[in-house]
Every structure is written in structure tokens, then in C-alpha cells.
Amino acid sequence: MIELSGGRLHVAGLGEDGKAGAPALSDGRARSAASPVRPGFVAVERARGGAIVAGVGVGSEEVVAFVVDPAGRVGPVARTSLTVRPGETGLRLSGLPGGGALLSDEGRRQVVWLDEEGREVGAARWPEGAAEGFCLDGTPGPRFYPTATAGGFVEVGALGAAGTCVVGEPGWATDGSLRWFGTRNEGRDVVPEVGVVRGLGPAVERPGEEATVVEAVKAAAPRPCPPDMVLVQGTLCVDRFEASMVDAASGEALSPDFPVTPNLLEITLGDWSTGRSRMGGVHARAMPLPLVPGWQRGQKLEVMAVPRRMARPNGYLTGLVAESACAAAGKRLCTLPEFVLACRGQDDTPFPYGETYVEGACNVFREGHPAAILHDNASIGHLDPRLNHVRAGEAPLFRRTGATPTCKSRWGSDAIYDMVGNLDEWVDEEGGAFAGGFYARSTRNGCDAVVTAHPKSYLDYSTGVRCCKDAEP
């Protein structure tokens, strides 16, 4: 922890209990030294311990860099060739896994490569090009990003794609991938996302014993379930959230409002481009269709199921697509007994939250049916791509994953969300079945809600999936 106060840098570590520790002094006070930089400085973890720090120098307009070592001592201050506009103090700093860091101005006009001691080893002008679109959070993703080699840049199509916004700064990982956190504009929605592009650089091993320690920890404590799944009764892994569909090759999310198979997508889009103008009241007819990513149309993709928090999970899935999407993720459909078991939680209750039905605790049996609101008839038009955007009053009928916190099935310190309501979820039954109920289904059966009236080839706006997997021993 590095803090600037009263013209001095105060350096301390934080223990697991949240209290100050080494490199603080033995009496708990932070180590202190005169600050070489103004407020607005940036810092990143140093591969060999401590931190690399950069900022606008005190008493000058120059950008300087230095190291704070693991003992909390401030190293020599080095000038850099990076320039900032008068009054500008914001900088960007991203650590390199093999040691050193990338330093740039906030507008990404220039970049400087720093070594492990904070000394400049290269500089270049940042190539022009950024993602098109307005960013509510963060800044448009740069089309080019500096490599770990001084003077080098790599073109990153996903980072510069239209609508991509980056919060903070992308970072290189030890496996040679570039990763970032940000948002993507999808029509009227702003969707948080984590971007990962692999194979852009060589894998590196950080100096010291870190890699050995990490591998030793993995060997000593193998994970029975992937991070996006919850362990159930020690033998079963279940997706924490309802699944979103992504292209297995690129990781790009497919529209949750259309079938993912190309022929059905085109049929649905064609039918409802004109059909919406003939159904429902004047306000319903004026409601536009959701946007479909251009790259998704006409493409036969390998679709993979990925559980994501606060995402709009995919409806419009057949049981066959649900099955193959789970398989592409190295998982499988849950059996009906597995679904019910996971839904009831470790306390084995009929509802995720307890023994008796509580109105509104899960997103089920809502006050309106989307087809009745949009078409004036609840029994028709169930492939309308607009249905999961319908609202009852001010509230949406369909919710994002995990947006109903009371609807969680508790397992130890973890929980599985929305196993009742939101979407019906395909399960592995020979004749085809989906379980749990969707947001407008009039059921109070909780975890025992199941529909067996449709074959695996059936789909509508309410049919989704989450996947299961046998736990590792």
C-alpha cells in the first residue's frame, strides 16, 4: 500500500487480517520518504517484489519513475521521455509478467518501456486507431497494444472492435495472453466483460520462486470444480449461473434474443421484421427488434455454454443445442435428479430459500406474461425476439443472472443462483424436459417444477440451460 500525504510517500503491507504489516515499521507505522511525484501517480506490482511507481515529478513537468523495493525503500528516481500536457497528471502503467512495465499518458499518445528498476529502455508513439462508439465507462479500446519487447506493438482485433470500452489498463499474462476488463455496448445495454486474447506473445516465467510456489499450491490443493461452478455434495459440479452462449473459437457472446443456429436465426429475424407490425397494440408494434451482431449471421459456429454473473442468459435454445453447448465447455446437461438436488441446497428444502413458497423470492410467477403484453395473447408468438425485453410497469420480467439474490441454493460458503425462475433449464431426460420454471410460469412447485411436454428439438424465448460436471476426486 502506497499513500501520498503531506508531501511524503507512506509504504506498508497489508496482512490477511487487514492490518498494516511489513514493510511497515515494527510499531505498525508505515515507512515514509519524501515523495518524488505529485498526486496522481500510478504504481504496479514489481515482478521481483515491491512496486514500480511513476508520476509527474515534484517541481517539474517531467514524468519520472522509480522502484519501491520489498523493504519499502524508495530507489533512485529516473527521468523518462514521456511528456504530458500542461496540468495533466493522469498516467497509465501496466506491469509486465517477465519484469518491468509499460508507461503511457492518459490519452495513449506515447508509450515508454521500463525495466525492473524503473529505468526507460525504449519509447515509441502509440499507433492511431481505437474502437468506435461511446463509452459510458472507461475509454475506447486501442486497436494496437505495446508488446513486452521495447518498441513493439501488436494489433488486437477484439480490443479495437466497435463498442469495446476498457476500464483501467489491459495487462499481459504469463501465458502470453492479453487481458482486460471493460464494457461492451450491445444496443441499449452496456454489458460488463472480461476480454482475453491468447497467443499474442510468448509465455514467460516470472523471476524468483513464484511459479514454483503456484504449482506447488495447485498440486497440494486440486480444485474439484472449475471456478464458474459450485460443488454439490462433494461429487457434482453445477454452473453457478444460467449460461450465456459464446463462440468457442473467439469467446464472443452470441445474442441472447435469437436462436443460435443460423437457419433458425434468419427465419426468426425475417418473420418478426414484418410480423411485429401486425400484432399487439400501437406501443407493442413500435417496439424494435434487438440487434444481432453482424459476425453471428450466416455463420455455423461451435457454441459453448458459459455461466456469467449479471448477464442476460440465452433463451431460444433447443435441448439439442443446450446439450452440445455444455459438451463444448467440457461439461454436460444435468440430469433431473441432479438439478433438483442442487436446487434444494444443502438444507434440502423445496425452494432455494426455504421450506415454503415466498412470492418474489425467485423470478417466477410474475404479474405479467410477455406474449400477453406484447401480442394480447399469451399463447402465440413465442419466437418473438423482443419477449425477454418486455417490462411489467417499471421492472423487466426477465432478469440478469444473480439479480435476484434471495433465489440462491446454498452449498457451503457458495451458492447457485436462479435454479427456480428466470429461464426454464434443459435437463438430460430421454424424451426432453426442462426444469425450474421461467419468470412468467404460474408455478409454486419450486425445485420440483418440470415440463416434459416438449421434445429436445423444441425452443422458445424461455428455454435456457446450465451445465453439470462430475467433480474431480
Tally of domains in the chain: 2
Sheet of 101-105, strand order: 91-95, 101-105, 110-114, 120-125
Asked if 263 and 328 sit in the same domain, the reply is: yes
Q: How far apart are the first and last CA of the chain?
A: 39
**CATH at 319:** 3.90.1580
Backbone angles phi and psi of 66, in degrees to 5: -160, 175
Cell numbers placing 107: 490519452
Residue 46's alpha-carbon distances to 3, 15, 67, 116, 412, in angstroms, are: 17, 18, 8, 7, 36
Contact 290, 255 (CB under 8 A): yes
H/E run at residue 337: helix 336-344
Residue labelled with grid coordinates 464458474: 228
Helix (H) or strand (E) holding 229: strand 229-232
Is residue 291 included in any domain, yes or no?
A: yes
Model pLDDT, residue 14? 72
Asked if residue 218 belongs to a domain, the reply is: no
Q: Which residues of the chain have pLDDT under 70?
A: 15-22, 24-29, 87-89, 186-188, 205-222
Residue-level pLDDT at 471: 96
Comparing CA positions, the residue from 413, 417, 409, 419 lying closest to residue 450 is 419
Query: Do 260 and 328 fall into the same domain?
Result: yes
Residue spans of alpha helices (H) in 30-148: none
Q: Looking at the domain assignment, is residue 219 inside a domain? A: no
So what's the pLDDT on residue 211? 39
Give the helix ranges, DSSP H, for 345-419.
370-375
Domain that includes residue 30, residue range: 2-212
d(CA 80, CA 88): 16
Check residue 92 and give its pLDDT: 92
User: Are 233 and 208 in the same domain?
Assistant: no
What was the pLDDT predicted at 26?
56
222: in domain: no
251 and 336 in a common domain = yes
Residues 159, 140: contact at Cβ < 8 Å? no
Which of 178, 212, 246 is the C-terminal boundary of a domain?
212
Q: What is the grid cell recorded at 323?
A: 446439450
pLDDT score at 217: 37
Q: Are strands 236-239 and 467-470 parallel, antiparallel or unpaired?
A: antiparallel
- 125 and 252 both lie in a single domain: no
Same domain, residue pair 74 and 10: yes
Q: Which residues pair with 120 in a beta bridge?
A: 114
Tell me: do 319 and 453 sit in the same domain. yes
Q: Are residues 90 and 135 in the same domain?
A: yes
